[in-house]
């Protein structure tokens, strides 16, 4: 039997909330809904939903705080649906651990597509990800040997380039912000900046992309960060 996915909707606008619930039901998802951040955090513990849809402007707390609470115990996908369209808000939500960001007003078809992406990822990685190898088109990574191959020919990677590539692949489909990448690769202490990152990304791309002006693997999300393509 197919698994029934449970989706938690955190939204205080009744009209939007009902609209999302109706659409989810039609698509065969189970759903739970709430209009407050506090109840949402409780429902996350009690029901362990598979995907979380979160509005940022809630009556009792900021949605960013809700992300922080949920991320302290769960890595389930969080899709932010918010009227806040500033880049800085998007970055803040992604930095806190949101997986995706949809700006209101939105098309239901788009939200449903993003939910399908989240669910596909869950299907592929039901638990903690422990990949031994990864393959896509002409790129192959052997994680046990820390080796990267293009058209079956091993290419030389510096440790940082390898870490960058592995990080992006492990999070493929998800936008990683400049800050997230800097923290993961260089740690908090060192003074790596976004310019540094751009330089490393350029050399990494030259090694793995056949057409660096039209990258197949590492996609730039302008002003936000990078994403490894899932297509």
Cβ closest to Ca ion, residue 104 vs residue 140: 104
**In degrees to the nearest 10, what's the CA dihedral of 82, 85, 89, 93?**
40
List the interface residues with Ca ion, window 144-173 (CB under 5 A). Answer: none
Number of residues that bind Ca ion (CB under 5 A): 3
Least CB distance from residue 75 to Ca ion, whole Å? 25
Cβ closest to Ca ion, residue 8 vs residue 208: 8
Measured CA to CA, the distance from residue 59 to residue 49 in angstroms comes to 22
Using an 8 Å Cβ cutoff, are 77 and 125 in contact?
Answer: no
Q: Where are the alpha helices (DSSP H) in the chain?
A: 14-26, 37-47, 63-71, 87-96, 108-124, 159-170, 178-186, 194-208
Measured CA to CA, the distance from residue 98 to residue 193 in angstroms comes to 22
Residue 12 lies near Ca ion (rule: CB under 5 A):
yes
Cβ closest to Ca ion, residue 50 vs residue 55: 55
Cβ closest to Ca ion, residue 42 vs residue 57: 57
List the interface residues with Ca ion, window 26-85 (CB under 5 A). Answer: 55, 57
Q: Which residue is nearest to Ca ion (CB)?
A: 57
> Which stretches of the chain bind Ca ion, using CB under 5 A?
12, 55, 57
């Amino acid at each position: 039997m197919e698994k029934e996915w449970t989706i938690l909707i955190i939204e205080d606008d009744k009209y939007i909330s009902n609209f999302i619930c109706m659409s989810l039901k039609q698509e065969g998802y189970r759903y739970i809904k709430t209009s407050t951040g506090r109840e949402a955090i409780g429902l996350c513990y009690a029901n362990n939903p598979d995907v979380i849809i979160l509005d940022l402007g809630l009556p009792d707390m900021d949605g960013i705080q809700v992300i922080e609470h949920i991320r302290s115990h769960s890595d389930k996908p969080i899709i932010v649906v918010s009227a806040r369209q500033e880049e800085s808000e998007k970055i803040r939500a992604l930095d806190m651990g949101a997986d995706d960001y949809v700006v209101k007003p939105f098309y239901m078809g788009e939200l449903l597509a993003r939910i399908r992406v989240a669910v596909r990822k869950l299907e592929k990685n039901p638990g903690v990800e422990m990949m031994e190898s990864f393959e896509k088109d002409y790129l192959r990574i052997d994680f046990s040997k820390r080796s990267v191959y293009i058209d079956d020919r091993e290419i030389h990677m510096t440790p940082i380039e390898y870490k960058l590539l592995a990080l992006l692949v492990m999070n493929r489909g998800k936008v990683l912000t400049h800050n997230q990448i800097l923290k993961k690769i260089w740690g908090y202490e060192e003074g790596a900046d976004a310019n540094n990152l751009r330089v490393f990304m350029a050399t990494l791309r030259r090694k793995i992309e056949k057409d660096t002006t039209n990258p197949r693997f590492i996609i730039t999300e302008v002003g936000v960060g990078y994403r490894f393509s899932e297509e």
